[in-house]
Structure 1
Amino acid sequence: MTPENDTPAEASSEGTDELARHASKMAKKKAARDKIMAQKSGEKGLIIVHTGSGKGKSSAGFGMILRCIAHEMPCAVVQFIKGAWDTGERRLLTTHFGALCQFHAMGEGFTWETQDRERDIAAAVAGWEKAKELIRDPRVRMVLLDEINIALRYGYLDVEEVLAFLRDEKPEMTHVVLTGRNAAEALIEAADLVTEMGQIKHPFRAGIKGQPGVEF
C-alpha cells in the first residue's frame, strides 16, 4: 500500500514506528560513544600539524587560537613566511586580543619574493628563537608556528633540532601547532594530531586572485 493510500491511523502508526526505531538507534550509538569517552581521561599538550596542498592550514591554526582566546588561555603566533602581509587575522588579534595573544610576524614573504636565501634563513632563525622563548613559557598554552613547514622544507631550519626541542623542552600542557604544506615525515611521525588539507578546486586556477576575508 502506498503512503497516499494509508489511512490516517496507519500513517500515524508508521510514523511512530520510524521515530521509535530512530530513537533506539541513537540510544545505542550514544551508549557506545559514552563508553568510548569514559575511557578517555588523559590530557596533554599536543603537537598538531596542518599540512597538504589544499587551502585552510593557517585558517585552521588561527581557529584554534581563537578558541584559546575564548577560554581566556594565553597564546601566541609566530609567522615564518607571511609576516610581511597585512592579514585580517593579524589585525584582529593585535587590535582586539593583544592581552591574551602575542603576535610575532617574523617572515618577509615567500622565498621567490625576497630572492635572498641568507636573508630568508636569518628571518626563519629569528622566528624559531622567538618560538622557543614562547614555548618555554608555561603561561602560554598554545603557540601557532604559521608556515614553519615551508621554512623546514627549504632547509632554513633543521627539522631534527625542532623535534628535539619539542620533545625535550616543551612544557607538558603546551599545545604547539605547525602549519604549511609538505610537512616533514619525521614531524608527522612525532605529532599527536595531523590533518592533511586536500585541494579539489581553487579559484586561482580560474584567474581569480586572493581576496580579503578568504585568503588573508
Structure 2
Amino acid sequence: MSTSLKKNVDVFNADVASNQGYMYTTEAKLSSKLANKRMTEATLEMIDKNAVTIIDIGAGDGTYSNDIYQARPQSKITGFDPAATAIKMAAQKYPHIEFSVGNLLDASTFPDKKYDVGVIRGVLHHLNDPLLAIKNSGLLSDSVIIIEPNGNNPILKQIEKRSAYHIEHEERSFSSDQLTQWCEEAGFRVERLDYIGFVPFFFPTLLTRIIYFFQPLMEKIHPLKKYFGAQIVILCRKK
C-alpha cells in the first residue's frame, strides 16, 4: 500500500473509531442525509433490474451497501474497502452482506469472482490513480456505476482548497470530461451520464431545506446541474 493511500485509510479508520461510522453516515446532519439519499436513488436507478450480484467497491462502513440491500433484498450484495476498521464495523452491523478488506488499486486483494454490477460511490476522488482504479473495476464487473463529486462545479473547487475536512481526506473532484476519458481509456463505454443533487454535505439546515425543495426543478435545467450540481453519475459497460 502506498504511503498516500495508507494515510488516507488511517484517516477513515480514525473516523470510524471516533464516530462509530463515517461522519456523513452516522448521526449525520440533515444535509448529509439528503445528499446521500439522492445518491442512493441515482445508484438504484442505474442498477439493471436483472442484476443478481452487486459489489460495492469502497464500501466503507457499509451504509451504502445496506441501502442497496434494502431496495434489492433479492440480490447478493458484497462490499470491500481498504479501511479494515470500517469493514469490521460494517460486517457487525450488516451480517446479511459479505464484506472483506480490499484495495481497488491492488487487484490481488479482490474477491475471486465477477459481479453483475459494480458500484464505485465517492471513491475515486480519494485515490492517487483513478484511471487504474477504473481499469481494475473491470476485473470485478463489466457494468460499473461511478458516482463522484461534480468537478465541473467552481464552488466545490474552492471548498476543496479551504475545507479542513476535504484537505484531511485528500479530496479532489474531477470534471465529467475527465471521468469520461478515464472510462474510455479503461476499456469502458459510457452509456449514461447525469448530474444530480444540489444539497452539499455538512450544510446549514435552513439552507438545506430551501435547496432541497427546489432541487427537482433545478435538476431539469441542464447547464445549471452540469456546473452547479453536487454529483456526477456515470453508467459504463465494457466495450
Q: TM-score, normalised by structure 2?
A: 0.35
Structure holding more strand per residue: 2
Over alpha carbons, which structure has the higher Rg?
1
Structure holding more helix per residue: 1
Q: Higher relative CO (CA 8 A, sep ≥ 6), structure 1 or 2?
A: 1
Q: TM-score, normalised by structure 1?
A: 0.37
